[in-house]
Structures are given as structure tokens and as C-alpha cells.
Amino acid sequence: MGSLGALLFLLGSLGALADVCEIPHVDSQLVERMGQHLLPWMNQISQEQLNPSIYVGLRLSSVQAGDMEAFYLHSLKLKYQQNILGCTSSDDCKTKPSMGQLALYMLALRANCEFARGHKGDRLVSQLKRFLEDEKKAIGHNHKDYPYVSYYQYGLSILALCVHQKRVHDSVVKKLLYAVEHDQHFYQGTLSVDTEAMAGLAFACLERSNLNPNLRNRITLAIRTAIGKILKTQTSKGHFGHVYSSPLALQFLMTSPMRDMELGTACLKAGAALLAILKDGGFQNVLMISTLLPVLNHKSYVDLISPDCHAPRVVLEPAMEIPSQTQSSDVIRVTLKVPSVLPPYRHVIFVPAGSSLEDVLKKAQELWGFTYGTKATLSGPYLTSVMGKEAGEREFWQLLRAPDTRLLQGIAEYTPKDGETIELRLVSW
């Protein structure tokens, strides 16, 4: 705490000098440690585990995975091109990637300095444009309805097409502009910093590439609006929203050419807070790490407009095997509560200290009549059903610590403390 205080004090004085968005100097060993977390994932090339975000994160970072990188991209191409081009029967189509996954794949191609060209490239681009048109229709003329998927993936898809210099119709961009102008990126009364930042990244790309000249002024204004809204979410600790929203927020804020003391100081503070958490080993999720690595290298997805594919990057060595720590024999008590089903479920579960929430759910399923289902996503296992009840359209099973604190991590990463009550609540979003 003492050293963080000193760091913040130092930044306070530095703040007087910072008027663009930068983060404090990052120790290269820390970056390497972050990168090493991704290496085991690069050996997992099953369809379900392949994650274009890992590839993008590494290519925009100061570290590299050597030959594994080319092989990983090759596996991504096999998966995505087969899914898009080879989708002849309805069975094949079931595994079709979502709009956002397709967009991330396009970012991965660009991260390797490739443009979507030729027959395969055209199919990709038209597929993504079709998705966007469908989303636009779902939002409706009066902007009052919701996209089928999310505004996050809407912004991500515009960004992906933009870095490939593919123009989308003004009407598609206008939906995202309206959403930023009219505070539509709020869920349960809180701004989704990630969604706002993704929209901001898309606008920053459109502004630089001038792909929609008729909307230029509106885009510039929306960027300022998004910056203002994100700055307002900064917590006393320094995070934008919270710790896991800060990486994408910083990517966006870093794209701003605006010289502004408030922005400069806010970024230094957010960067210092993030670095303190990294030093404590606070980031484990691969998706999070892959979003953070570009920030540590002062890059963002917008740099994929003209990526530097020859930038020197340090080759990562696999992390040294740390002798497995003697497992704590302590047992903790966690109460699992599900009020959204009839009869409501409530049980005390005993698990070894350090167990994840997923371990608690497994134990409850094994011994205490609990059932649940998950689906694999790029962020890890996502809870889809509880006690046989599937979350419906625009619903999800929210994870909370009683009485009412929303968890910031998913079931695979959150580790409950002794005596905690975890609630699974079916809510609309």
C-alpha cells in the first residue's frame, strides 16, 4: 500500500505534465509474465478453444510466441473459413461463428497485415455486413428496440470492417452514433464501459479512415462524448468502471489525439492502478490479458489500420514450472442460493479453500441436488441454465455475492471466501 501511495503521489506530480492518454512505464518482465499466461492456450486448437483475441493481443504487444503464432493463425483460418465457406448443410451452419467472433477473426487477419481479399475475403466481409444489417433492423427506425446480439458486437464489427478499409452504410453507423448520443449503453443503470469503449474504437477508426465523410462531424462529437462518459466512471482507485473494464477503456482513450490535462491524469492513474493489480497477479482470464497486452505496448485495435508487422517483439519462453504448492487443507463454507426457481434452492457447500465458484457448483451438483449448464465462450464457461431453467432471450443468470454485489468474474475464476453467500439470479439485461 505504501509503494502504491508513493506511486500515486509521483503520478500526481507527473499529472501536471501529462495531457495525452499514456500509462506509466511498464516493466518488461511484467509484460512477459502476462504473455506467458497465453502460451498454454495457444496449444489448444480445438474448435471451441480457438480464440482470435489471443492472436490479436499478441501481435499488438511487445512479446511474441515464435512459431506457435503462425500455427495458431493457420488454425484460426481453418476454423473460420471452413465455417463460413463450407457451410452447405444446416448441420455445418450450427457451428457458424457469431458476428463478434467473425469480427475478431478479421482483426486477427489484419494483425498479420492481411486484407480481406479475393473470394474468401469477400464472403467474410459480406457475411459481417449482413449481420450488421440484421442488427440495424432489430434496433428499428426509432432506435428503441435492442440489437439481437449486443451493441458491443455491433461496434466491434464496424471496427473490424473499418480496419480492412471496408465501408459500411451511413445508416449502420448512425445506429451506433445514436446509441452513444442517447446513453443506450447503460445496463441496470450503469454504463457498460466496455460497450462504450468499443463504440469509441469503431468511431476512432472511422474518423481516421474517413470512410463515412457525411458523418464526420457527428463521429468526432461522439468520440468526445464517449471519452467524457468513460472519464466520469473513474473510481477512487483509478479504474474506469472497474478493474476489468479499464483495459478496453484505455485502448480507446489512447487513440485520442486530444490534448487535455484531465484525460492525461486519468490515464496515468488508471494505468498505475492496473499495474498494481498486475503485480499482485490479479489478471488470469485470457481474454482480459489479450485486451490488456496492447495497452501495455501503447497500442489499440485502431492501430490495425496500418499494423507494423515487423516491429521487434521479445520471444516468450514458457514459464518455469513452479513446484505445486502444498494444497491448503482448509475447508471453507459457501452458501449457494437460487431464489429465481421454485422451490428456491439454498444449500451450504463445503469446498477446499481456493476453490472456484465452478468447483462449488460442481460439488453442489454432485452432492446436493443442484443442476446447471454452461456454454464455452471466449471469456470462459458462461452459465446458461440453473436447476433446469434456461436463461431466455435478453435474460441471463447473474452472479452475485449476497446481499447485492455483482461479481466481476465468471464461474471459472471467482474464488469465494469462507462464509460467503453466492446468489444466482435470473435477470433481464
Binding mask 104-143 for ligand B12 (x = CB under 6 A): x---------------------------------------
Give bridge partners of residue 334 from the DSSP assignment. Answer: 349
DSSP state of 316: P
Out of 380, 416, 423, 426, the only residue in the binding site for ligand B12 (CB under 6 A) is: 380
Residues 262 and 267: their CA atoms lie apart, in Å, by 9
Length of the chain: 429
Burial of 134 (0-12, 13-18, 19+ CB in 10 A): middle
Max Cα-Cα span within the chain: 65
- Tell me the number of residues near ligand B12 by CB under 6 A: 35
Residue choice 36, 44, 64, 98 for contact with ligand B12 (CB under 6 A) = 98
Applying CB under 6 A, among 11, 185, 397, 426 the residue interacting with ligand B12 is 397
| Residue 326, SS3 per DSSP | coil
Pairing type for strands 395-401 and 380-386 reads unpaired
- Reported in sequence order, the residue ranges of 304-371 that DSSP labels E, i.e. its strands, are 314-315, 331-338, 345-352
85 is annotated as contributing to ligand binding = no
Report the half-sphere exposure of 216 (CA within 13 A, side-chain side). Answer: 6
Residue span 278-297 as binding mask against ligand B12, x where in contact by CB under 6 A, dash where not: -------x--x---------
Asked if 421 interacts with ligand B12 (CB under 6 A), we say: no
Query: Among residues 112, 219, 214, 93, which one has the least CA distance to residue 155?
Result: 219
Is 398 among the residues that bind ligand B12 (CB under 6 A)? yes
Residue for cell digits 475475403?
121
Q: Is 414 annotated as a binding residue?
A: no
Backbone angles phi, psi at 80, to 5 degrees: -75, -40
Q: Closest Cα to residue 221, out of 258, 167, 193, 186?
A: 258
Q: Which is nearer to ligand B12, 44 or 220 (CB)?
A: 44
H-only helix segments in 281-367: 286-296, 357-367
Give a three-class secondary structure readout of 394-425: CEEEEEEECCCEECCCCCCCCCCCCCCEEEEE
Residue closer to ligand B12, measured from CB, 72 or 397: 397
Smallest gap from Cβ 393 to ligand B12, in A, equals 9
| Residue 252 touching ligand B12 (CB under 6 A) | no
Which x/- pattern over 139-178 shows residues binding ligand B12 (rule: CB under 6 A)?
----------xx-xx-------------------------
Q: What are phi and psi of 307, to 5 degrees?
A: -70, 150
CB of 166 to ligand B12, least distance (A): 18
Site for ligand B12 in 287-346 (CB under 6 A): 288
CA geometry: angle 42, 55, 40, nearest 5 deg:
20
With binding defined as CB under 6 A, does residue 61 bind ligand B12?
no
Tell me if 234 contacts ligand B12 by CB under 6 A.
no
Beta partners for residue 346, in sequence order = 337
- Residue nearest ligand B12, Cβ-based: 410
Shortest spacing between CB 261 and ligand B12, in angstroms: 26
Identify which of residues 198 and 215 has a Cβ nearer to ligand B12 in the complex.
Answer: 198
By CB under 6 A, tell whether 192 contacts ligand B12: yes
Query: Does position 195 bind ligand B12 by CB under 6 A?
Result: yes
Which member of 41, 64, 407, 421 binds ligand B12 (CB under 6 A)? 407
Contact 313, 61 (CB under 8 A): yes
Would you say 368 is a known binding-site residue?
A: no
Nearer to ligand B12, 212 or 251 (CB): 251
Using the rule CB under 6 A, give the single segment among 86-94, 119-127, 192-200, 254-262 that binds ligand B12: 192-200
DSSP state at residue 343: S
Residues that bind ligand B12 (CB under 6 A): 98, 100-101, 104, 149-150, 152-153, 192, 194-195, 244-245, 248, 285, 288, 377-383, 396-399, 406-411, 413, 429
Annotated binding residues for cyanocob(III)alamin, written as ranges, equal 194, 382-383, 397-399, 407, 429
Annotated binding residues, written as ranges, equal 194, 382-383, 397-399, 407, 429
